Structure 1
Amino acid sequence: MPREGAPLPRTRQTIAVAHVHWALPPIAGGVETHLADFSRLLAERGHHVTLFAGQGLVQAGPRVETVPCDLLNLDWYRERRMEASDKELAKQLAETMRAEITRRGIRVVHGHNLHHFTPVPAMALRLLEQDIGVRVYHTYHSVWDTDLHIVEHCRNWPEQHAVSRFLSGLCAQGLSVPTIPVYLGVAEDRYRHIDSPSASGEQVILLPARLFPEKGAQAAVRMLRRLRDEGLSVRLILTGPEQTVDWDQESEPFGQRLKETIADLGLTGHVDFRSVGFGQMPQLYAQANVVIYPSTYPEPLGLAPLEAAAAGRPAVVTRIGGLPETVRHRRTGYVVPPGDLDALTNRVRTLLTHPRRARRMGRAGRAMVRRKFALDAYVDRMVELYRAADV
């Protein structure tokens, strides 16, 4: 065993890398899912991964460790920010991280969405750059109404990434930050075992999104009413994870309104709410015939349609944000205008009533993921980047 405070043993081939984000599984979300799978694949290749986060405790293997940090927990931060300046809080966070980084011999730190909420994590990493010479990379997973003074603390990190071409353009226009579009990829091994859906019995439509208004659940419910009125035997599965990132406390009141709509439309018993973690998502895709993502929000990319493709399921998504980058129209699914209930219903009906076409699109989706969105390929790219800096 290494002595207390000594760096963990490494070989010339292994890398020790740290990731910094606000939350990890069991908190449900696209970035959280990505970090869990990314860390697992890095560990399976023999690398050492340390995850600094404010919420969650991902279980991804013996070479992955989670370090809870109060100053990455926004609830904690909001309570304490009046007691100290951001500069003082950044020093506290840097001290916490420095001890762990030094003990593990970490030379590379990868931040995720550190341009949101508070400048404290980005300021802390800049201190660590100056004090102990770590190399910092950063990925933009989304862009909201971000304060530009926070972005200033991220601006000079090398080779900054955005998760789609759409988001890269948004970073350039809205933040004046040049980024490289790099698709995160899907862990294919989680979906490889899923067979083609059953061609008989009740069919299933899946909307694998958090219960927020802009994710399209209301449209999905109204679409279901139309399809059942046409005589189709079909039900809808909505995902409502127990633990999710819900900064504005929208999920619970929206879920209640949605249930009222379901009752008003006479759909009680035909809509399932499933509270699942990211580890159970493959089982939901296996139950689905069609996956939909009718978001009215400009999604940075949309991990769920890519997971659907990896599972061999066609997807219907809206033409907004990065979603069109996840579906090849008429090849792996359909892209419809946002807010167009007729178009959404028509495309889903086509897939439900033409199962051979749906299966063909599912196979094409799997091929697309292998060719363009495989997480293994992303890991290859990032290991090369980390290794170049891990000197």
Structure 2
Amino acid sequence: MRVAMLHWAFPPVIGGVETHLALLGPELVERGWEVFLLTNSVEGMADDYTWKGMEINRTPLMDLNSLSLVKIEVMADKIREKIYRFIEKVKPDLIHAHNMHYFSPVHAEVLFDIKRKMGIPLILTAHNVWEDQLWDQMCQLAGDWDAVIAVSHYIKEELIKAGYPADRIFTIHHGIDIDRFRPPTREEQEEILRVNPHFAGRRVIFHPARMSLDKGCHIGVRALALIVREFPEVLLVMAGTTKTVDWGNHQPHHVHRITAMVEELGLQNNVWVKFFPWEEMPRMYQASEIVIYPSCFQEPFGLVMLEAQATARPIIVSRAGGMPEVIKHGENGFVVEMNDHGQLAENCLYLLRNPELGRQIGSRGRTLVEKYYTKEIMTEKTSEVYKAVC
């Protein structure tokens, strides 16, 4: 069977949804599905190519970083034509859209028009929810999806509050590749130090998120200022300064504020900022002793939780959105209150003082991911939803 997917971005653009697609698509191909993805254009990349069995079609008409609501309205006819041509070429048995319940009424309405005219079932995966006028407008389409996949129980509850039919919502937590994200061998640890000699003698704390206030990067920096008083050798590694979906171009302002805070607190020697391509992320988890994810908004899921646990690293998250569904305080990680850098610092210090405890927590996390959160489990559950609507 053939599935047409649509999303605003795909690697090398990185983020939770993009990583999810890079896992789900090839795994569906392994199960016999033919997968076609319509996504944004990336400079230097072809518009059409095959990636791990998926057929990728790129167009600037799916690029949120260059499309404002005004531009979307102006280009509505071109958007409609492009999506129709994509669907007519693919001839899918179903359409699976990711985060098409927000950002652009034009894109969503084209899909519903296709559903009505061609009778193709329409599935949405809601990776996020919002609260503003545009969100209210898009929720008027809530009952038109044949099925909705929520990435956490938190997202499902929020969708129901917004008017989505509860009987059409299926919670499917993310899954990851546990062969790609795994504890390092001794040889791999030596290779990490060879490639990153500045890690030698450092206690590495990794914050694997786009550099923004939403993701709590400023909370991590403030916590670091407390941590270095006892452990001056600590190094906070932050990622994701480029190649992310940034509708509205907010990230440069966030990056400026966070880097200014690092300088104000005199932490330049304790912070390392670098963009890590999707292929390099597992190695950075392996290089770390602790992973933090102190999000300052209702995080829908937080794929970082699974990546850290699969690598057997203890993780500290904020009590936000769907993250407490996965991380149980003191068992497979720690949960701190949102916006509380003191609690974050306290738990980091606890782990730095007790490295054996960190290893035990990491080991429990690895076991949990192996049991519940693999890409195979996620894909099987997604296939069941597909079959239910076809």
Asked if 1:96 corresponds to 2:85, the answer is: yes
1:153 maps to: 141
SS at match of 1:352: helix
Q: How does 1:305-316 map to 2 (within 5 A)?
A: 305-316=305-316
- TM-aligned CA deviation for residue 83 of structure 1: 3.7
Q: How does 1:270-281 map to 2 (within 5 A)?
A: 270-281=270-281
2:172 maps to: 182
Change (3 A) 1:156 1:362: same
* 1:347-380 C-alpha deviation (Å, 9 max, x unpaired): 1111111111111111111111122221210111
Change (3 A) 1:291 1:122: same
What is the rounded CA distance, in whole Å, between the counterparts of 1:125 and 1:26 in structure 2? 26
Asked if 1:191 corresponds to 2:177, the answer is: no
Aligned length: 371
SS at match of 1:235: strand
- TM-aligned CA deviation for residue 302 of structure 1: 0.8
- TM-aligned CA deviation for residue 382 of structure 1: 1.8
What is the rounded CA distance, in whole Å, between the counterparts of 1:261 and 1:59 in structure 2? 42
What is the rounded CA distance, in whole Å, between the counterparts of 1:201 and 1:70 in structure 2? 45
- TM-aligned CA deviation for residue 154 of structure 1: 4.5
Higher alpha-carbon deviation: 66-75 or 315-324? 66-75
RMSD over aligned CA atoms reads: 2.5
- TM-aligned CA deviation for residue 45 of structure 1: 3.6
- TM-aligned CA deviation for residue 344 of structure 1: 1.0
2:296 maps to: 296
1, 17, 28: which one aligns with 1:42: 28
What is the rounded CA distance, in whole Å, between the counterparts of 2:333 and 2:13 in structure 1? 29
Instruction: Using structure 2 for the length normalisation, give the TM-score.
Output: 0.87
Change (3 A) 1:59 1:264: farther
- TM-aligned CA deviation for residue 90 of structure 1: 6.1
Check whether the contact 2:4–2:35 (CA below 8 A) recurs between aligned residues: yes
1:71 maps to: 61
2:193 maps to: none
- TM-aligned CA deviation for residue 150 of structure 1: 2.1
- TM-aligned CA deviation for residue 50 of structure 1: 0.6
- TM-aligned CA deviation for residue 60 of structure 1: 7.3
SS at match of 1:153: helix
What is the rounded CA distance, in whole Å, between the counterparts of 2:86 and 2:49 in structure 1? 20
What is the rounded CA distance, in whole Å, between the counterparts of 1:337 and 1:50 in structure 2? 41
What is the rounded CA distance, in whole Å, between the counterparts of 1:120 and 1:59 in structure 2? 26
Q: What residue identity is the alignment partner of 1:159?
A: A
1:353 maps to: 353
Q: What residue identity is the alignment partner of 1:218?
A: H
Check whether the contact 1:24–1:55 (CA below 8 A) recurs between aligned residues: no
* 1:261-300 C-alpha deviation (Å, 9 max, x unpaired): 2122221122000111222110110111000011111101
Q: How does 1:1-391 map to 2 (within 5 A)?
A: 15-56=1-42, 61-74=51-64, 75-76=66-67, 78=69, 80-83=71-74, 88=77, 91-102=80-91, 106-145=92-131, 146-178=134-166, 179-192=169-182, 194-195=184-185, 201-390=201-390
Q: What residue identity is the alignment partner of 2:53?
A: R
- TM-aligned CA deviation for residue 243 of structure 1: 0.8
- TM-aligned CA deviation for residue 76 of structure 1: 4.5
Check whether the contact 2:68–2:248 (CA below 8 A) recurs between aligned residues: no
Identical-pair percentage? 30
Instruction: Using structure 1 for the length normalisation, give the TM-score.
Output: 0.87
- TM-aligned CA deviation for residue 82 of structure 1: 4.8
Higher alpha-carbon deviation: 353-362 or 143-152? 143-152
Gaps of 5+ in 2: 191-199
Change (3 A) 1:274 1:92: same
Gaps of 5+ in 1: 1-14
